[in-house]
A and B are shown apart, each in its own frame.
Chain A
Amino acid sequence: MPTLTYRDALNQALREEMQRDPSVFLMGEEVGVYQGAYKVSRGLLEEFGPMRVVDTPIAELGFAGVGVGAAMAGLRPVVEFMTWNFAVLALDQIVNSAAKILYESGGQVPIPIVFRGPNGAALQLAAQHSQAWESWLAHIPGLKVVAPATPADAKGLLKAAIRDDNPVIVLEGEMLYNTKGDVPEGEHVVPIGKADVKRAGTDVTLVCHSKTVVPALKAAEQLQEQGVSAEVVDLRSLRPMDEETLVASVAKTNRCVVAEEGWPHCGIGAQVVDIIQREAFDSLDAPVLRVTQADVPMPYNRQLERAAKPSPEKIVAAARRVCYLD
């Protein structure tokens, strides 16, 4: 199986889907001539031309709306946001148009669109450029939200998103674009709504998604050295969320830690905890703990930023607590 970067896996998904279906097109800032702010769209302009790889002005609200309008007419747009921080300007189109038109039209007008781009913090980009938006987006009925952590999942989930007849949010990670992994060639579609056990274990379940899969796996290694067997469940899909896999894992381990990049208040972890207390109450041997970004705007200073972010050490500490080791 070929090894690809996360970036190239996304590129492969886009290229294959655009080759497969002439109604698929990509639009966004810098996607064409510049080859993508993060080079996810490298080579696509040359292969598909400017009508299908559309450079937009810096007008997130406007071009997100153009995408939704094109989807209303039956095209399948992939709208790239340079980052999800800028997509906040487009929330009116995502929330009020893309997510609601099917319902308010009584089922007449589907919106088969993908909104994608990097989400969450990178390194020292400060408060406005370091935000994780998944709990905002996953809150909205009418949207699907996925957050792949590996190159294979990036390819498979983006392909699934493009083929879906609904608006799908694809949350990528700037810090993930260079990570490498095995990626199946050709037809590799990961179903939306299925979590993935990235590491099996018996003593504690570590729930994570997107970038936090990396510190969660590191934490699992450290815990192993301390005699604790951790199971790492990568949610992959945040809406719908795979309750079955979560509950099965907690039924086995009886303990759970949820890690995420977002802030604690009303975060994704809160939803996971709701599922577990509701569906796996009798399995629990300890309260579920959460590891999140500190409840502050992201600071610029390197030390402060590190202190704000989830880390393997924080996940290990939480896991030890739910195992009553500390």
Chain B
Amino acid sequence: MASESPREDEIGFGWTLGTFLGFAVLVLAWAPFWGVESIPFRALWGDVSNHTAADILWKLRIPRVCMAFLAGTALATSGMVFQAMFRNPLATPFTLGVSSGASLGAAICIQFRWAFLVWGISSVSLSAFGGAVATIVLVYAITARGRQGASTATMLLAGVAISFFFSSLILFLQYISDFSRSFRMLRWVMGGLERIVDFHDVWNVFPFVVAGSLVVWYLTHELNLLTTGEEFAFSRGVNVQQTKLLLFFAVSLMVGAVVAICGPIGFVGLMAPHICRQLVGSDHRHLFPITWLFGGAFLVICDTVARTVIAPTELPVGILTALLGGPFFLWLLLAHKRELGAF
């Protein structure tokens, strides 16, 4: 990617972006037609002899692929943001406890057998989202009490402490629960997209992902400078406190919405940003669109494999993300011979 003049750099990135865009579009177009039941393209406009094929396509496959793309995009983007904000390559979208908050919400709902629907959203998703929001508010409240405003270290520690606390509560609920409910909780915590039927959930998550992504896109210059250190960023004119809070709320809400529907799907948020950094470097003006596209496409691929590889049963997609992504990342790391764990 190294080239002589800066202009060529921009053009080179244009090609990379085009490639990723094409790749993402191909994946999105291919994934709905791939599966146990192979479906002809004609089903798109309902021009088939049996209506089951069209139903599978429009009620199951396409919503599920859309959801996978949104979830992958949101998780990868928030992983990228937290890694830059905390200057820590091990930060993930779940570092600040959003996923354990959501999981606790879901576990409580399962334990007490709440079953209702509000605007087509299930009770489990609603209480999971409630748990996520409660965690966000809690982490912020603890951080804001600090003397020096929202200190990054305090935020990180508060998030991790709350995360462990909630995880213990989930284990406790599982322990006192009966076998079937305990299994439902366990299955929820693994994450997955098999619950997606029709477009309700997609439309519910969509605004959160769009809003979160826009905030991140708006703040790419700031993310670059935050990576060099908060003091340095401040002296270059960045309003560090305001930027951090904006990123924290936008990204956490986005993750909360995704986790409420899909459960905590691991690995994408940790590894997708690192994979993209190996490919295009750490300049967030470039890194953000690539991570956004790659995260979405990656989760769509993983989910497609998850629902076909041991058909007719499904694999939880969280298992596959690590199984496919881990070796891929290691290969990339060895092929590029770059420093391990560097931003």
User: A and B: partners?
Assistant: no
Contact surface of A with B, Cβ cutoff 8 Å: none
Contact surface of B with A, Cβ cutoff 8 Å: none
